[in-house]
């Protein structure tokens, strides 16, 4: 791979193996001469490739007209000279202007197409980014916070630090952390516009002004390297198919000596008494259902391996069980109702399951709720917490 760094804010690179030419950062030259090296690199990339050249602009924050026209001129000339050449410009909704600006090129030159990579970039996206997921997130955090507030200091959370909550969902964790631990800075990032809109509304209603809610893609963040003392990513590694990519980004934005904190589940270990068998059957099926959509809700105990493989040291792992005895049993029941609605009502339907299967699947959730609300019942949902230190 060749890389040209024009300014600290701008990077251009070509990876010959994957035929990807990438532009990232802020590119605002006063004249074309300032970007001559990059233009030459694009020309060279075009000469080297066979078939398709991918132009990756997923992290291109800004580009002025001088640069845009200079790059586009080279691309158009190349397409006219070579009928075999195709160019796919890979944009992202996080830098939405790129889709608009490069989108016009296809009308001028059909050999150039634009793909918005994050419109369907992980298989479970349509469920997780939907508003129906909001009640799940709201009830879950309410239940887990009781445990996590005492666990978090062991994993490095303390007042005055800079932290990022990546895949923050509706941002409630960030609000709780801010109240309890007073970090100096909190960035909360997610790719669900519905969840972020909800988070911002809650923040406005409660007069919270110092959480930086950010729309972004966790696997291609625009945040700079080595910025945060503490990076959390809760219940999210398990729903994303490219887990190594996500961990690489969490590692990148963490300061050396800082910690990355992840929480994940092992759904097949959800339990309850009475009606244990029906409950067990349903949660085994939950794990299979998620795996059908490339999500791994059995990931919890694998956290240690994931963190070690991503290069972290001083890895700490612990687990806790959210139960109906933690507080109001109705809170527990609300979590399960929210799961039933989305897992049985939407995901199983999308998989094409039969009405008989869905009815049995629903029964296990109802039995879990029965166990939670029964005066002598017990219901549990286990969570694995793990963190690792980025070596100095």
Which residues in this chain contact ligand SAM in the complex, by CB under 6 A?
122, 128-129, 137, 140-141, 167-169, 173, 190-192, 195, 217-219, 234-236, 239-240
CA 195/CA 193 separation, integer angstroms: 6
Find the shortest distance in angstroms from Cβ 219 to ligand SAM.
5
Question: With respect to ligand SAM, which residue has the nearer C-beta, 221 or 372?
Answer: 221
Dihedral sign computed on CA atoms, order 193, 199, 202, 203: negative
Question: With respect to ligand SAM, which residue has the nearer C-beta, 22 or 140?
Answer: 140
| Residues 6 or more apart in contact with residue 347 via CB below 8 angstroms | 127, 289, 290, 293
Find the shortest distance in angstroms from Cβ 74 to ligand SAM.
31
| Residues 6 or more apart in contact with residue 300 via CB below 8 angstroms | 238, 264, 265, 266, 319, 382, 383, 384
The 8-class DSSP code of residue 391 comes to P
Question: With respect to ligand SAM, which residue has the nearer C-beta, 87 or 221?
Answer: 221
| Residue of 12, 96, 109 whose CA lies nearest to 55 | 12
Find the shortest distance in angstroms from Cβ 237 to ligand SAM.
9
Query: φ and ψ at 210, to 5 degrees?
Result: -105, 25
Question: With respect to ligand SAM, which residue has the nearer C-beta, 167 or 369?
Answer: 167
- DSSP 3-state of 242: coil
CA 275/CA 200 separation, integer angstroms: 41
Question: With respect to ligand SAM, which residue has the nearer C-beta, 15 or 129?
Answer: 129
Dihedral sign computed on CA atoms, order 77, 80, 85, 90: positive
Find the shortest distance in angstroms from Cβ 136 to ligand SAM.
7
Asked if residue 346 lies in contact with residue 127, where contact means CB atoms within 8 angstroms, the answer is yes
Question: With respect to ligand SAM, which residue has the nearer C-beta, 169 or 377?
Answer: 169
Find the shortest distance in angstroms from Cβ 387 to ligand SAM.
15
Question: With respect to ligand SAM, which residue has the nearer C-beta, 261 or 312?
Answer: 261
Find the shortest distance in angstroms from Cβ 258 to ligand SAM.
19
Asked if residue 251 lies in contact with residue 221, where contact means CB atoms within 8 angstroms, the answer is no
Question: With respect to ligand SAM, which residue has the nearer C-beta, 168 or 386?
Answer: 168
Find the shortest distance in angstroms from Cβ 202 to ligand SAM.
13
- Describe the strand order of the beta sheet including 112-116 as a list of residue ranges: 2-7, 10-15, 20-27, 52-63, 86-91, 112-116
Question: With respect to ligand SAM, which residue has the nearer C-beta, 4 or 194?
Answer: 194
User: Strand 20-27 relative to strand 10-15: parallel, antiparallel, unpaired?
Assistant: antiparallel
Find the shortest distance in angstroms from Cβ 38 to ligand SAM.
28
Question: With respect to ligand SAM, which residue has the nearer C-beta, 348 or 371?
Answer: 348
Cis status of the peptide bond prior to 274, with omega within 30 of 0:
yes
Determine the distance from the C-alpha atom of residue 19 to the mean position of all C-alpha atoms in its chain, rounded to a whole number: 26
CA 273/CA 261 separation, integer angstroms: 32
Find the shortest distance in angstroms from Cβ 148 to ligand SAM.
10
Asked if residue 224 lies in contact with residue 253, where contact means CB atoms within 8 angstroms, the answer is yes
Find the shortest distance in angstroms from Cβ 35 to ligand SAM.
30
């Amino acid at each position: 791979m060749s890389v040209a760094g024009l300014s600290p804010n701008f990077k251009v690179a070509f990876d010959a193996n994957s035929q990807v030419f990438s532009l990232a950062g802020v590119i605002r030259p006063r004249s074309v001469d300032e970007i001559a090296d990059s233009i030459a690199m694009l020309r060279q990339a075009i000469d080297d490739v066979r078939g398709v050249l991918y132009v990756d602009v997923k992290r291109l924050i800004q580009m002025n007209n001088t640069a845009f026209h200079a790059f586009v001129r080279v691309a158009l000339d190349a397409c006219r000279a070579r009928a075999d050449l195709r160019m796919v410009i890979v944009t992202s909704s996080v830098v939405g202007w790129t889709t608009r600006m490069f989108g016009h090129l296809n009308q001028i030159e059909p050999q150039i197409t634009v793909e918005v990579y994050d419109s369907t970039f992980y298989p479970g996206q349509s469920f997780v980014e939907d508003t129906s997921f909001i009640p799940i997130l709201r009830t879950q955090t309410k239940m887990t916070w009781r445990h996590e507030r005492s666990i978090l200091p062991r994993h490095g959370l303390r007042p005055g630090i800079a932290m990022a909550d990546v895949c923050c969902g509706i941002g409630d964790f960030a609000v709780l952390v801010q109240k309890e631990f007073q970090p100096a800075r909190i960035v909360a990032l997610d790719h669900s516009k519905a969840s972020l809109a909800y988070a911002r509304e809650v923040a406005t209603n409660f007069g919270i002004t110092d959480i930086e809610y950010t729309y972004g893609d966790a696997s291609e963040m625009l945040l700079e390297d080595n910025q945060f003392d503490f990076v959390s990513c809760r219940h999210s590694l398990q729903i994303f198919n490219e887990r190594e990519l996500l961990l690489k980004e969490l590692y990148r934005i963490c300061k050396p000596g800082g910690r990355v904190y992840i929480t994940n589940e092992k759904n097949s270990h959800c339990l309850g008494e009475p009606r244990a068998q029906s409950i067990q059957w349903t949660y085994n099926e939950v794990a299979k259902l998620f795996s059908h959509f490339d999500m791994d809700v059995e990931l919890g105990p694998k956290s240690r391996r994931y963190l070690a493989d991503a290069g972290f040291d001083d890895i700490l792992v612990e687990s806790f069980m959210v139960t109906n005895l933690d507080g109001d049993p109705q809170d527990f029941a609300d979590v399960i109702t929210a799961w039933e609605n989305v897992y049985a009502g939407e995901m199983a339907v999308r998989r094409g399951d039969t009405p008989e299967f869905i009815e049995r699947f629903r029964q296990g959730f109802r039995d879990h709720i029965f166990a939670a609300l029964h005066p002598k019942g017990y219901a549990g949902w286990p969570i694995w917490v793990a963190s690792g230190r980025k070596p100095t």
